[in-house]
């Protein structure tokens, strides 16, 4: 889908780096050189380290830490789900993973994933994701969402924000969300009145109560899908910001789509400044340089507003969204063939109206005619964002369905060939590595690791301290690790055929357990753990 005691302001300071934009071909040379040095016995040796009983040792890879800028050949020892040693000397362990000729880095932390089940996490693991959060829309009841995930098991780490949109649909539209992803489109559909109506003072209090209850149950922030409910008044949104500030959590906002990007951004900036809340903008589009400049100027002044960028230029949502009604599409100057429904383009406004009536919960790809992957200016703008400290890379991954629209059972594996989603659900981070780092050479691999792992983890660590041990390659951090050769990363998913796993993630570890080994997933392991606010925080 196309964001008491306050924490300290999130600063965009860039961590030191020996080579922030190192090309992948040079990375490979360093890897080979390091492997030769290790084989020649030129690496310093520590007998005490070598004797440690590590569960897993990743040997001789190019260790890349986006927090400190470390970029050197190291052995990495894993014990009890955490990184226990990062050593120039050889280490020994129960299981040895030969990482020579490859990068070892923290897995990506995706703050914007709607693919919240076992199947979605398995697919994202091939994209290098080890933690995926549903923060834009969020969930209600939050406790039910966490309980359901724990019962089914997850391939990667997971978590939720508290959903303002579902709270609004409940209060204004009588919806009954149940904590499942499947119920979200239905709840929003039943709560259609919530998309256009302003809430009364009493209704606003009830909405805030439901959102606050979600925070009490462990949600890491507030999901404010404002673009889907344009009738919400500015005062209601301000009160959400004030609640977030009081609880010390971020607001994850999909901004208004009816007032223009710049005006929508000004609302976010004003509420962030007035309340002291941290705001994360889930969609910052490519065609508004003024919007980008406004955000970066605010951040330079210490403003608590975090911008997010994507790896694909085309959006996705469900076909029943209000802004995809034929009359709304006409007003926006878009034609129905800009919508891809299960691999085919919609042929007419009449067909669009029919599909909205028959299958309103179908996820579709919404092509933006103003953007194209071949546009050098768009590539350059994306690279600029990735290299600018503080910008966060996220996927906006969607659930996997089959026609007529039904969710594929989450225990299904492998991914069916006719599974439908946006290709970003399978390939966001690998797409950036293959194209922006490799093919186009517009950005460095370390910048991608910062934008995709370190900055998102740092953004949430005040609200959810578990994130202090994610997005880093350091002793004590969670062993959420990816092992890959940047020159062998390949994206297979396309807009018309998205059900194709990315290639090149040779090993993926989640909490010290090997989920992917030699490019193959182990379907017997479910190492994902919940990310949620601590009891002491939720009781405030």
In tens, the pLDDT along 413-455 reads 999 999 999 999 999 999 999 999 999 999 999 999 999 999 9
223 found inside a domain: yes
Q: What is the CATH number of the domain that holds 131?
A: 3.20.20.140
425 and 340 together in one domain = yes
Count of beta carbons in the 10 Å neighbourhood of residue 439: 10
Say if residues 128 and 429 touch (Cβ distance below 8 Å): yes
* CA distance to 102, 377, 445, 485, per residue, from 27 (Å): 9, 27, 9, 9
68 found inside a domain: yes
The pLDDT assigned to 361 comes to: 87
530 found inside a domain: no
pTM recorded for the entire structure: 0.89
Count of beta carbons in the 10 Å neighbourhood of residue 43: 17
126 and 221 together in one domain = yes
5 found inside a domain: no
* CA distance to 66, 87, 458, per residue, from 471 (Å): 8, 19, 8
459 and 487 together in one domain = no
6 found inside a domain: no
137 and 279 together in one domain = yes
Number of structural domains, the chain? 2
184 and 62 together in one domain = no
161 and 94 together in one domain = no
Count of beta carbons in the 10 Å neighbourhood of residue 65: 26
Helices (H), 52-199: 118-125, 142-152, 164-173, 183-190, 193-196
What's the start-to-end Cα distance of the chain, in Å?
Answer: 31
Q: Select from 426, 447, 464 the last residue of a domain.
A: 464
Measured between alpha carbons, how far is 169 from 164 in angstroms, rounded to an integer?
9
102 and 113 together in one domain = no
- Please enumerate in sequence order all residues whose Cβ is within 8 A of that of 535, keeping only pairs 6 or more positions apart, or say none: none
The pLDDT assigned to 29 comes to: 54
380 and 278 together in one domain = yes
Measured between alpha carbons, how far is 258 from 231 in angstroms, rounded to an integer?
10
Measured between alpha carbons, how far is 281 from 390 in angstroms, rounded to an integer?
12
The closest alpha carbon to 478, from 457, 460, 459, 463, belongs to 457
Measured between alpha carbons, how far is 232 from 191 in angstroms, rounded to an integer?
13
425 found inside a domain: yes
76 and 174 together in one domain = no
* Alpha-carbon dihedral angle through residues 242, 247, 248, 253, given to the nearest 10 degrees: -50
Q: Select from 464, 498, 529 the last residue of a domain.
A: 464
Measured between alpha carbons, how far is 18 from 110 in angstroms, rounded to an integer?
26
173 and 233 together in one domain = yes
499 found inside a domain: yes
The pLDDT assigned to 192 comes to: 67
477 and 437 together in one domain = no
* Alpha-carbon dihedral angle through residues 439, 445, 447, 453, given to the nearest 10 degrees: 120
Q: Give the angle subtended at the CA of 347 by the CAs of 341 and 351, to the nearest 5°.
A: 80
Q: What is the CATH number of the domain that holds 505?
A: 2.30.40.10
The pLDDT assigned to 259 comes to: 59
The pLDDT assigned to 446 comes to: 98
139 found inside a domain: yes
Q: Select from 418, 446, 464 the last residue of a domain.
A: 464
> Which parts of the chain have pLDDT scores under 50?
2-24, 26, 33-49, 536-540
The closest alpha carbon to 447, from 23, 28, 5, belongs to 23
Say if residues 498 and 425 touch (Cβ distance below 8 Å): yes
99 and 113 together in one domain = no
pLDDT per residue over 480-539, tens digit each?
999 999 999 999 999 999 999 999 999 999 999 999 999 999 999 999 999 999 754 443
The closest alpha carbon to 100, from 25, 34, 50, 37, belongs to 34
Write out the residue range of the structural domain in which residue 513 sits: 24-106+472-521
């Amino acid at each position: 889908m196309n964001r008491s005691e306050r924490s300290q302001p999130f600063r965009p300071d860039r961590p030191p780096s020996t080579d922030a934009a190192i090309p992948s071909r040079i990375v490979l040379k360093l890897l080979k050189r390091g492997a030769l040095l290790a084989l020649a016995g030129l690496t310093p040796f520590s007998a005490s380290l070598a004797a440690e009983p590590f569960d897993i040792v990743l040997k001789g890879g190019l260790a890349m830490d986006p927090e400190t800028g470390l970029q050197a050949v190291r052995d990495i020892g894993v014990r009890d789900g955490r990184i226990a040693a990062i050593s120039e000397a050889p280490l020994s362990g129960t299981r040895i993973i030969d990482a020579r000729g490859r990068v070892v880095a923290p897995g990506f932390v995706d703050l914007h994933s709607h693919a919240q089940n076992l199947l979605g996490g398995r697919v994202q693991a091939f994209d290098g994701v080890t933690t995926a959060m549903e923060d834009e829309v969020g969930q209600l009841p939050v406790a039910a969402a966490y309980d359901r995930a724990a019962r089914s098991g997850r391939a990667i780490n997971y978590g939720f924000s508290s959903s303002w949109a579902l709270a609004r649909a409940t209060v204004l539209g009588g919806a009954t969300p149940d904590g499942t992803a499947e119920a979200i489109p239905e709840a929003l559909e039943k709560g259609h009145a919530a998309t256009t109506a302003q809430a009364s003072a009493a209704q606003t209090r009830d909405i805030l109560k439901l959102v606050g209850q979600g925070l009490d149950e462990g949600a890491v922030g507030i999901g404010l899908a404002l673009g889907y409910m344009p009738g919400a008044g500015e005062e209601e949104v301000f009160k959400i910001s004030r609640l977030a500030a009081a609880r010390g959590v971020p607001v994850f906002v999909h901004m208004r789509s009816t007032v223009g990007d710049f005006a929508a951004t000004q609302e976010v900036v004003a509420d962030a400044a007035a309340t002291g809340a941290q705001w994360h903008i889930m969609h910052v589009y490519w065609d508004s340089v003024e919007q980008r400049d406004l955000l970066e100027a605010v951040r330079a002044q210490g403003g608590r507003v975090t911008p997010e960028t994507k790896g694909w230029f085309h959006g996705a949502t469900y076909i029943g969204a209000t802004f995809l009604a034929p009359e709304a599409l006409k007003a926006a100057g878009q034609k129905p063939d800009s919508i891809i429904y299960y691999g085919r383009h919609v042929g007419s406004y009449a067909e669009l109206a029919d599909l909205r009536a028959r299958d309103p919960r179908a996820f579709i790809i919404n092509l933006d005619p103003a953007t194209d992957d071949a546009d050098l200016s768009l590539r350059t703008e994306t690279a600029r964002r990735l290299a600018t400290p503080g910008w966060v890379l996220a996927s906006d991954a969607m659930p996997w369905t089959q026609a007529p629209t039904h969710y594929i059972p989450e225990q299904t594996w492998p991914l069916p060939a006719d599974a439908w989603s946006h290709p970003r659900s399978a390939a966001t981070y690998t797409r950036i590595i293959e194209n922006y780092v490799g093919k186009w050479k517009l950005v460095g691999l370390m910048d991608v690791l910062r934008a995709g792992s370190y900055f998102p983890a740092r953004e949430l660590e005040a609200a959810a301290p578990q994130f202090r041990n994610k997005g880093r390659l350091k002793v004590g951090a969670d062993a959420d690790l990816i092992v890959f050769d940047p020159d062998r990363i390949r994206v297979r998913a396309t807009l018309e055929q998205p059900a194709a796993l990315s290639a090149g993630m040779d090993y993926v570890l989640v909490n010290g357990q090997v989920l992917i080994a030699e490019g193959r997933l182990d379907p017997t392991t479910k190492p994902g753990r919940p990310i949620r606010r601590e009891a002491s925080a939720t009781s405030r």
